[in-house]
């Protein structure tokens, strides 16, 4: 092998790592400023919890497909949210189990002749129910649309209020989740969407649908995802918020201006990553039309979700996410370097293409190339080790900076031992976990390029969720 | 030489990354230690001072001479924060004892010093405390912050000024409401409720009358903070004098008294749907027999919200009993009108 070729490859990998970590460092700095500014007023805002008639009423939309095991606990918890004016709309998306019957029995749901109006497309509605016991609870029973997006659209059509919150049926909210998530809409009327920080519930003590104690999971895969989520939410999304370039609002918890979502046509039923696709469409339509708007993010940990604890479920999830990323980015390729799209089109989308969509190929290629080159004797072991060490070292640095952000802000994990454990995981996840997730992402990318349908698969609930 | 350079750079970067990681880790440990120390300090402070603050909140005075001397600067700021928490929860005469206690503890001086600091959180705390303590000497400094670009800081300034002297503050705050579009309306509502209708009614009505359409719509949102009779006659005047749909809808929401029939008919057939919707709402509130003829055609409106509100208004009409309402529903030929009526009847428990 030509030494020039080897040097060129070394430069490629070094350049790639430098670029990606430089962007992350900038995001990190933005996130520090943003979180500091947020925290400066958060305490006073939390104390100012006097509700008035001027608060924005919110519709909470809960899509449910075969959620018989957990739906009652989840809805009971949602009905206890501390907020002056909200309705809960459960969308039974043609469940084949007894989800609907359980709702009818438990909450006294009765058929209700509602003048339903279809503003965004979804499969036909079979019936609408209203609770005899809880005036703010309704159920939309519809034919299965084959996607969460279709169910959410059914909920949007049925909801009454100007703001809606899309929540997974197995999400664990906190009593003040809505109050916190609605703040961006009160503080800036240009806000069309706001995401909330999602944390991992595995290992935590959950009772009656509410989080009682925060603990780190014992399962290594779940623990690695705790660090991953800290990175993704604390500085990933907070950093992008600073530039009004948030591209993803998690499907587990997102708050939207209903009229804005109706204007862009609602969720896209055939999208794999319907959450990202909707946010990109909001960016595309609002930015290109020149209408001022804001997509923002609330750093408080307001929603907790169950993470996969086995390789099979995790693998399917990551393949699906990568597939959804590819699909969403290409569906909105018009945003890329669009002169009206600002930071979204010129920074965020190119970043997502280069580092999030195709990045895993470069990184996996790098590992393979280094291994082959070293085994073939084209590259001295010291060089291969240095580059491998660099990839690991930068990964650990990034995770540690997320831990610093966590320490600066929310101290969600209360024990000192938790912090040490998180630091240990931040190191260990780079040996095996990181490589296997990269591999799944490459698989997802290849599957998307070949037009394969990603698998969903059944996720086994963690002890925290099933034992609640 | 060329082949060694990337490796050397990678090595340097690796060492730098490891060094930064070590620093970050130590920093996070430091932050955790500081947080734990802060928690301990807060627990001590709460154990010592919460009973005193709680008793003062209930109007009981007690000597605090020795305790005051033990308070350091940091503790004083933390105590000020706790004091604000207690003060925010009480009304009436007990506030005087709590305010006296704050003055005796030197918290007024602490708040004044914090107001001069650069940190937003310090100034927010200072504004809150000085407002609660009705510190007229700080009026000018707080008034300057009303124009600060930071939204929480400016709105807290408005709140503090209203606490200090509502009569003087509201004529300054109301014009600022129109200028500061990003002030959360819930907070504005709170400020106006602190001031009370005696102080709000006249400046609000005057501001609405002289405002352009956009500002009128904005200010009319806060009609509940003023005396209803004054707002009512103002809203009635606006409904005849103005044409902007936003103003008309906001005025229809505010009006409580009767309107001349030609005005109602004009608004119930207005080209903008949300004006028609508010007109239907208003007719529901009136409940007059002669308005029924205006409401029924709205059941077949092109807009869902107008049909829904018209149906709700009809079900509220006192002269229509359940049987009459069911008959009315059955005789509708338009399926949208039937749908809206069925919906409203079901909501009223009449199905």
pLDDT in tens, A310-330: 999 999 999 999 999 999 999
**pLDDT computed for residue A127 by the predictor:** 94
Q: Is the pLDDT of residue B6 over 70?
A: yes
Measured in angstroms, the CA of A131 and the nearest CA of chain B are apart by 11
- Reading the block at residue B158, the tokens are 């408005």
User: What's the whole-number mean pLDDT along residues B321-350?
Assistant: 91
Please name the residues between 377 and 396 in chain A that touch chain B, using a CB distance below 8 Å. 382-383, 386-387, 389-390, 393-394, 396
For residues A131 and A111, is the Cβ–Cβ distance under 8 A? no
Answer whether B10 sits within 8 Å of A390, measured CB to CB: yes
Binned at pLDDT 50, 70 and 90, residue A302 comes out as confident
Q: Is the pLDDT of residue A50 over 60?
A: no
Answer whether A423 sits within 8 Å of B308, measured CB to CB: no
Q: Please check whether residue A113 touches B, CB under 8 A.
A: yes
For residues A297 and A306, is the Cβ–Cβ distance under 8 A? no
- Span of A123-127, A334-338, B259-263, B318-322 with lowest mean pLDDT: B259-263
Answer whether A419 sits within 8 Å of B28, measured CB to CB: yes
**pLDDT computed for residue B252 by the predictor:** 95
**pLDDT computed for residue A18 by the predictor:** 86
pLDDT digits (tens, 9 = 90+) for A11-45: 888 888 888 888 888 998 999 888 888 887 776 66
Tell me the Ramachandran region of residue A451: left when phi exceeds 0, alpha when psi lies from -120 to 50, beta otherwise. Answer: left
pLDDT digits (tens, 9 = 90+) for A338-375: 999 999 999 999 999 999 999 999 999 988 888 888 88
User: What's the whole-number mean pLDDT along residues B25-52?
Assistant: 92
User: Among B6, B9, B343, whose Cβ lies nearest the Cβ of A114?
Assistant: B343
Residue of A nearest to B4 (CA): A7
- Reading the block at residue A249, the tokens are 């609002």
Residue that the structure tokens 């060094």 belong to: B19
Binned at pLDDT 50, 70 and 90, residue B2 comes out as very low
Cα→Cα distances B326→A399, B332, B336, B341, Å: 65, 10, 15, 9
For residues A458 and B71, is the Cβ–Cβ distance under 8 A? no
Over chain A, what is the mean pLDDT? 89
Question: Angle of helix A416-428 relative to helix A220-229, nearest 10 degrees?
Answer: 100
Q: To the nearest whole percent, how much of chain B has pLDDT over 90?
A: 65
**pLDDT computed for residue A44 by the predictor:** 63
Residues A243-252: b if buried by 16+ CB within 10 A, e if exposed? bbbbbbbbbb
Helical segments of A131-263, H only: 148-158, 177-187, 220-229, 238-242, 258-263
**Most confident segment among A49-58, B89-98, B314-323:** B314-323
Question: Angle of helix A99-107 relative to helix A71-79, nearest 10 degrees?
Answer: 40
Residue of B nearest to A397 (CA): B21
CB atoms within 10 A of CB A436: 14
A to B CB pairs, distance under 8 Å: 145
User: What's the whole-number mean pLDDT along residues B17-38?
Assistant: 94
Q: Is the pLDDT of residue B226 over 80?
A: yes
**Cα A324 from Cα A362, distance rounded (Å):** 19
**pLDDT computed for residue A237 by the predictor:** 86
Binned at pLDDT 50, 70 and 90, residue B1 comes out as very low
Q: Please check whether residue A11 touches B, CB under 8 A.
A: yes
Residue that the structure tokens 């009480």 belong to: B90
Residues, chain A? 468
Please name the residues between 28 and 57 in chain A that touch chain B, using a CB distance below 8 Å. 37, 39-41, 43-45, 47-48, 50-55
Answer whether A48 sits within 8 Å of B187, measured CB to CB: yes
For residues A86 and A136, is the Cβ–Cβ distance under 8 A? yes
**pLDDT computed for residue A69 by the predictor:** 84
Tell me the whole-structure pTM to 2 decimals: 0.85
Q: Following DSSP, what letter does each residue of B247-304 receive, concatenated? A: HHHHHHHH--S---HHHHHHHHT-SSHHHHHHHHHHHHHH--GGGHHHHHHHTT-SSH
State yes or no: ipTM above 0.95.
no
Q: Is the pLDDT of residue B169 over 90?
A: yes
**pLDDT computed for residue B152 by the predictor:** 84
Binned at pLDDT 50, 70 and 90, residue A151 comes out as very high
For residues A454 and A323, is the Cβ–Cβ distance under 8 A? yes
φ/ψ (deg, to 5) at B239: -70, -25
- Span of A441-450, B129-138, B281-290 with lowest mean pLDDT: B281-290
Which three-class secondary structure state does DSSP give residue A125? strand
**Cα B67 from Cα B52, distance rounded (Å):** 11
Measured in angstroms, the CA of A11 and the nearest CA of chain B are apart by 6
Q: Please check whether residue A135 touches B, CB under 8 A.
A: no
Binned at pLDDT 50, 70 and 90, residue B314 comes out as very high
Q: Is the pLDDT of residue B185 over 90?
A: no
**pLDDT computed for residue A457 by the predictor:** 62
Cα→Cα distances A311→A14, A203, A308, A314, B177, Å: 30, 18, 8, 5, 55
Cα→Cα distances B150→A24, A183, A194, B91, B153, Å: 27, 15, 20, 29, 5
**pLDDT computed for residue B43 by the predictor:** 92
DSSP conformational letter for B107: H
Q: Which H helix or E strand runs over B289?
A: none
Residue of B nearest to A422 (CA): B25
**Cα A324 from Cα B229, distance rounded (Å):** 58
**pLDDT computed for residue A313 by the predictor:** 92
Q: Is the pLDDT of residue B15 over 80?
A: yes
Contacting residues of A for B156, CB less than 8 Å apart: 44
**pLDDT computed for residue B64 by the predictor:** 74
């Amino acid at each position: 092998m030509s030494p020039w070729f080897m040097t060129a490859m070394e430069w490629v990998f070094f350049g790639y790592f430098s670029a990606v970590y430089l962007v992350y460092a900038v995001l990190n700095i933005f996130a520090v400023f943003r979180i500091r500014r947020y925290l400066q007023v958060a305490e006073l805002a939390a104390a100012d919890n006097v509700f008035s008639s001027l608060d924005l009423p919110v519709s909470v939309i809960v899509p449910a497909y075969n959620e018989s095991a957990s739906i009652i606990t989840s809805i009971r918890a949602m009905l206890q949210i501390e907020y002056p004016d909200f309705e809960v709309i459960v969308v039974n998306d043609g469940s084949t189990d007894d989800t609907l019957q359980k709702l009818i029995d438990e909450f006294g749901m009765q058929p209700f002749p509602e003048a339903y109006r279809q503003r965004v497309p979804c499969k036909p509605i079979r019936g609408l129910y209203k609770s005899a016991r809880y005036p703010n609870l309704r159920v939309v029973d519809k034919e299965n649309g084959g996607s969460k997006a279709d169910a959410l659209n059914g909920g949007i059509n049925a909801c009454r209020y100007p703001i809606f919150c899309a929540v997974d049926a197995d999400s664990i909210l906190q009593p003040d989740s809505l109050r916190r998530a609605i703040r961006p809409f009160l503080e800036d009327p240009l806000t069309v969407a706001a995401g909330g920080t999602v944390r991992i519930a595995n290992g935590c003590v959950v009772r009656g649908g509410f989080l009682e104690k925060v603990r780190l999971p014992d399962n290594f895969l779940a623990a690695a995802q705790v660090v991953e989520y800290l990175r993704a939410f604390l500085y990933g999304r907070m950093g992008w918020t600073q530039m009004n370039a948030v591209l993803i609002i998690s499907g587990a918890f997102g708050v939207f201006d209903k009229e804005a979502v109706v204007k862009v046509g609602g969720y896209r039923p055939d999208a794999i990553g319907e959450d990202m696709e909707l946010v990109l469409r909001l960016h595309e339509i609002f930015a290109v039309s020149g209408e001022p708007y804001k997509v923002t993010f609330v750093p408080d940990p307001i929603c907790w979700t169950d993470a996969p604890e086995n390789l099979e479920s995790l693998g399917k999830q990551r393949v699906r996410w990568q597939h959804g990323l590819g699909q969403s980015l290409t569906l909105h390729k018009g945003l890329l370097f669009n002169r009206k799209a600002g930071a979204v089109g010129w920074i965020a989308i190119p970043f997502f293409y280069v580092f999030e969509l195709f990045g895993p190929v470069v990184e996996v290629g790098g590992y393979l190339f280094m291994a082959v080159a070293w085994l073939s004797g084209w590259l001295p072991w010291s060089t291969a080790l240095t580059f491998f060490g660099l990839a690991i070292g930068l990964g650990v640095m990034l995770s540690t900076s997320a831990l610093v952000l966590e320490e600066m802000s929310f101290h969600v994990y209360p024990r000192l031992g938790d912090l040490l454990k998180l630091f240990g995981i931040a190191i260990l996840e780079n040996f095996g976990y990181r490589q296997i997730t990269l591999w799944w992402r490459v698989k997802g990318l290849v599957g998307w390029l070949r037009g394969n349908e990603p698998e969903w698969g059944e996720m086994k609930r963690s002890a925290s969720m099933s034992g609640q | 030489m060329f082949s060694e350079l990337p490796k050397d750079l990678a090595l340097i970067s690796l060492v730098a990354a490891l060094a930064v990681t070590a620093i970050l880790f130590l920093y996070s440990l430091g932050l955790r230690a500081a947080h734990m120390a802060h928690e301990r300090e807060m627990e001590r402070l709460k154990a010592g001072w919460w009973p005193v603050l709680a008793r003062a909140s209930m109007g009981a005075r007690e000597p605090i001479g020795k305790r005051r001397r033990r308070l350091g600067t940091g503790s004083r700021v933390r105590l000020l924060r706790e004091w604000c928490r207690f003060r925010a929860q009480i009304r009436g005469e007990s506030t005087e004892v709590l305010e006296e206690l704050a003055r005796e503890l030197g918290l007024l001086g602490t708040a004044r010093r914090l107001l001069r600091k650069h940190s937003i959180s310090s100034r927010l705390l200072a504004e809150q405390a000085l407002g609660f303590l009705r510190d007229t000497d700080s009026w000018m400094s707080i008034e300057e912050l009303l124009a600060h670009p930071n939204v929480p800081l400016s709105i807290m300034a408005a709140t503090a000024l209203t606490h200090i002297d509502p009569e003087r503050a509201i004529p300054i705050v109301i014009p600022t409401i129109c200028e500061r579009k990003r002030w959360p309306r819930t907070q504005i509502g709170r400020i106006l409720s602190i001031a009370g209708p005696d102080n709000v009614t006249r400046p609000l009505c005057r501001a609405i009358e002289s405002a352009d359409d956009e500002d009128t719509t904005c200010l009319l949102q806060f009609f509940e903070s003023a005396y209803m009779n004054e707002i009512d006659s103002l809203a009635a005047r606006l409904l005849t004098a103005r044409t902007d749909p936003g103003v008309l809808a906001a005025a229809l929401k505010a009006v409580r008294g009767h309107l001349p029939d030609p005005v109602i008919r004009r608004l119930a057939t207005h080209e903008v749907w949300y004006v028609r919707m508010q007109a239907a709402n208003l007719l529901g509130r009136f409940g007059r027999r002669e308005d029924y003829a205006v409401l029924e055609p709205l059941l077949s409106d092109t807009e869902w919200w107008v049909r829904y509100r018209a149906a709700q208004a009809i079900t509220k009409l006192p002269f229509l009993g359940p049987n009459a309402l069911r008959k009315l529903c059955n005789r509708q030929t338009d399926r949208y009108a039937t749908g809206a009526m069925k919906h409203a009847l079901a909501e009223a428990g009449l199905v």
